Structure 1
């Protein structure tokens, strides 16, 4: 079966996947950002040009597996042209390297993809787009690289994630996909749903609710699994542990909290749900042009995924909400603030009193936005209470008939649960009831990928010179006119009018105003940084 090519904004070092392609050159240098993924004894030297690895090439090979015992395998790919090729030959040479690398990856047997994913996931950056063979030709590279990745995914059966960093890169890649071959293997009703949700996101009408199912793809426990883990920690005898399974979840949590003590419980949650690698779904959701996020999860993975593409989320109620800044509401607490977590029956009962303001935020979203629920079974008592309160409010005497407040993306068909919630939200299943959960979860990722493609603003690269080749005649004329505005912009935005214009230019990809491709951090594992370092290589 054919794999799928995802386009996502993320940091390759923190994305959960099975294989990563790492750009290098003939001297086998990589940027310092890859250090945390490399075996320590493999790095023999570090200087301003990056890390020198204790490896060598065999003859004319361009792909080299990094040795190690980690389940995630790194593959070094030579992306830096030696200068002997002219510009017409350099890009085909680079694409040949990508094909060779993906073929080598396919020869490694992976029987169980990471965290039970249905398909193996191979991730790579936009190879060679710094000082490599595609330097200054990012638009042309994307137009030619994406078909290469699609052919490899179809031939080898694994999924591929093209991981990009800056907003202009994402906008350009999504334009290429929208104008190219249709590669989303989705039934028509899911395509129609993606059109609707993509349009809502573009208009600023969409909010996102992230449940525990999303974080399960990153290896974190669901509610039931967490209780099992806590039971193992508690030291309860066999009889009590067997009875624990028959209690409602919140009551089981209350008993475990009593046995463990609140301090030990908080310590366990803080450690178990601390920063870790985020799943593909986290990154796809964080990429959406959404300003309001809500989660019942304790982990920081949504905000980490957002930060890696330059979206600094205010985490409520711990941070101040700021005008124009996107935010994430932690409805049941945050592992970074373990005293805030909601777990036991008593804490759920207190939620309606001491945390009424937090519930009010979700009330507001359900009344004023269309909320996309991902990774939740909709069985949480707080969600049920909040939905009931909103339903009561909009069905008040004299109130006009209201639309449903959101869409639940369910993995598999469950007609009874869909009927239960039909007054409040539309439930859309990815697959029939007998579909394996991992396959349904993968289909959900494909749907999120399509929503992201359709919702990405089409002008985010207009003023980025690296993508001038993607523009049509009308767009080039507009870019030239706006270029004059760029030149006229003062160095300091002293007035509100200047700030508004600067913000517009940033959204259009202007490097002069801080838009487009964001500069890689000093230790960033990005292809741009990697190739710039390699230009300084000896010889």
Structure 2
């Protein structure tokens, strides 16, 4: 996808590429029932690589006041927040937001720049200090991601780098058909992740019912 985006940008322009993304991912769309269910659960910290603003809408629809930190490709300090809570969760948008067009990480070149920026010192590191702190201490649940994604694995390894394996918190990845090699390396050998063989449309309602002790309305 990144290579396709780069080819489109070269043939047309960056502006037309971003226009196409904005049209595709956000205009006229509403949060799905699964996003609504996740928004009603009490996650104090959420990380997304989506460009749209659907989860923010779902959180507000659930009566919450989300605070949003968006990746900046420039050398400006990264916005960080403290005191994450269920009613005022923090949403980190690691690959940008359509409302800040310059922030989108789309092409191969964008991803390379993002990785290079991860060597920056705080407060310029695109991964905020509080996010790194909590990811080393809190259980992590991946929903809607595939660990086949090289960029996601790189981010995960960077955040857990040099952490004592005995102190690494539990991490789960919901994936109906995880790649066999990734399962062998990341679960069986290195024990980074426990895979949950399920799809989002059945896992989220089950999680919602288990946490809230009520069925998810259609």
Using structure 1 for the length normalisation, give the TM-score.
0.33
1:427 aligns with 2:195: yes
1:410 aligns with 2:178: no
1:266 aligns with 2:25: no
1:400/1:261 Cα in 2 relative to 1: closer, same or farther (>3 Å)?
Answer: closer
Structure 2 equivalent of residue 19 of structure 1: none
1:269/1:441 Cα in 2 relative to 1: closer, same or farther (>3 Å)?
Answer: same
Aligned match for 2:91, one of 328, 333, 342: 328
SS in 2 for 1:321: coil
Deviations 1:122-176 (A, max 9, x none): xxxxxxxxxxxxxxxxxxxxxxxxxxxxxxxxxxxxxxxxxxxxxxxxxxxxxxx
Unpaired segments ≥5 residues, structure 1: 1-248, 431-439, 456-539
Structure 2 equivalent of residue 309 of structure 1: 62
* Structure possessing the higher radius of gyration over alpha carbons: 1
Q: Distance in 1 between matches of 2:126 and 2:210?
A: 28
Aligned residue-pair number: 194
CA drift of 1:285 comes to 1.0
Q: How does 1:128-143 map to 2 (within 5 A)?
A: none
More strand by share: 1
Deviations 1:22-73 (A, max 9, x none): xxxxxxxxxxxxxxxxxxxxxxxxxxxxxxxxxxxxxxxxxxxxxxxxxxxx
Contact 2:138 2:169 (8 Å CA) reproduced: no
Structure 2 equivalent of residue 250 of structure 1: 2
Using structure 2 for the length normalisation, give the TM-score.
0.77
Q: Distance in 2 between matches of 1:314 and 1:303?
A: 9
Pairwise CA RMSD:
2.5
SS in 1 for 2:51: coil
SS in 2 for 1:342: coil
Deviations 1:415-439 (A, max 9, x none): 4332232232211112xxxxxxxxx
1:390/1:331 Cα in 2 relative to 1: closer, same or farther (>3 Å)?
Answer: closer
CA drift of 1:293 comes to 0.5
Unpaired segments ≥5 residues, structure 2: 72-78
Q: Distance in 1 between matches of 2:16 and 2:105?
A: 15
Runs (4+) of structure 1 exceeding 4 A deviation are none
Q: Distance in 2 between matches of 1:360 and 1:323?
A: 14
Contact 2:34 2:201 (8 Å CA) reproduced: no
Contact 1:297 1:330 (8 Å CA) reproduced: yes
Q: Distance in 1 between matches of 2:83 and 2:200?
A: 35
Q: How does 1:518-537 map to 2 (within 5 A)?
A: none
> Quick one: higher RCO (CA 8 Å, sep 6+), 1 or 2?
1
CA drift of 1:299 comes to 1.0
1:353 aligns with 2:150: no
Q: Distance in 1 between matches of 2:143 and 2:126?
A: 19
